[in-house]
């Protein structure tokens, strides 16, 4: 899939100890400048695309080599669909910005004769952001930590529930030195993140976009040392969980 020039550039990255040569799927993203756009997603006839298309080794999938040219054709096709809906009598057609998410739960399906509107969502731009993150490891780390703290629709970090076999064991754990040390570290991290409630957990958010942006913005302003402190509670939680499990066994014995 790579041109001779791209092959030379990749080999140069591989030989350079100060840079990262993208492997596997990341390599495909690098080859296409951050957007490996499959020809399957085109809303326009493929024959109308004058640019180069690239096939994989087995010819099973093909991609647009020129992302900008693809979006020029794709946006024209989207505009044509919008006009077609309006000509068909729909009250309004809203085309969202690329990457803007449509919250379907805020709306009800309504037919055209009752004043229904059409909403068109446009995707694929996230690929460019993902590829750009490969060259900014510090920013990528902060984004990962922000999602771990505020929650994500793709993965979850849950605090250890710290269940005990009986009240006596629970009381013993709650008053232990490990719990006090962990609580002190947690409060310090919450202070770094400007979170007022010192009794809340660091992780375990409900996947709130505003909260993620807020935490991410705060992490961008912190040095790496403090970001690693914010990242650490999940590791502490695993260690603390082992201590809890050991304590339960000891109590049972």
Say yes or no: 29 and 43 in one domain: yes
Of residues 235 and 56, which shows the higher confidence score?
Answer: 56
Say yes or no: 84 and 116 in one domain: yes
- By mean pLDDT, which of 12-26, 61-75, 108-122, 215-229 is the weakest? 12-26
Say yes or no: 155 and 119 in one domain: no
pLDDT-derived band of residue 127, with 50, 70 and 90 as boundaries? low
Mean pLDDT, residues 175-194 taken together = 81
What is the distance of C-alpha 21 from the center of its chain? Answer: 22
Q: End of a domain among 119, 135, 151? A: 135
Q: What pLDDT is recorded for position 206?
A: 74
Domain count, the chain: 2
Burial, 18: exposed, middle or buried (Cβ in 10 Å; 0-12, 13-18, 19+)? Answer: exposed
pTM for this model (two decimals): 0.43
pLDDT-derived band of residue 224, with 50, 70 and 90 as boundaries? confident
Say yes or no: 120 and 169 in one domain: no
Identify the H or E element spanning 63: strand 62-64
Say yes or no: 117 and 147 in one domain: no
Check pLDDT > 50 for residue 251: no
Say yes or no: 13 and 107 in one domain: yes
Q: What pLDDT is recorded for position 237?
A: 43
> What's the domain range around 152?
136-252
Say yes or no: 244 and 182 in one domain: yes
Check pLDDT > 70 for residue 60: no
Q: End of a domain among 135, 157, 185? A: 135
């Amino acid at each position: 899939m790579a041109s001779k020039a791209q092959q030379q550039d990749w080999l140069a990255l591989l030989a350079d100890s100060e840079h990262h040569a993208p492997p596997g799927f990341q390599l495909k993203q690098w080859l296409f400048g951050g957007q490996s756009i499959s020809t399957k997603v085109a809303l326009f006839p493929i024959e109308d695309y004058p640019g180069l298309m690239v096939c994989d080794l087995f010819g099973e999938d093909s991609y647009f080599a020129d992302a900008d040219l693809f979006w020029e054709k794709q946006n024209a096709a989207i505009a044509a669909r919008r006009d077609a809906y309006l000509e068909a009598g729909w009250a309004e057609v809203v085309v969202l910005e690329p990457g803007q998410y449509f919250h379907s739960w805020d709306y009800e399906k309504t037919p055209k004769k009752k004043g229904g509107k059409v909403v068109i969502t446009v995707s694929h731009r996230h690929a460019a952001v993902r590829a750009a993150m490969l060259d900014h490891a510090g920013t990528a780390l902060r984004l990962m930590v922000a999602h771990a703290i505020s929650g994500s629709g793709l993965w979850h970090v849950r605090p250890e529930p710290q269940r005990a076999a009986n009240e006596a064991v629970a009381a013993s754990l709650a008053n232990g030195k490990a719990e006090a040390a962990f609580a002190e570290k947690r409060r310090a991290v919450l202070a770094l993140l400007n979170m007022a409630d010192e009794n809340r957990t660091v992780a375990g958010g409900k996947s709130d976009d505003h909260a993620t942006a807020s935490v991410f913005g705060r992490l961008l302003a912190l040095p790496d040392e403090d970001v690693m402190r914010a990242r650490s509670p999940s590791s502490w939680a695993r260690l603390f969980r082992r201590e809890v499990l050991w304590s339960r066994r000891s109590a049972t014995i």
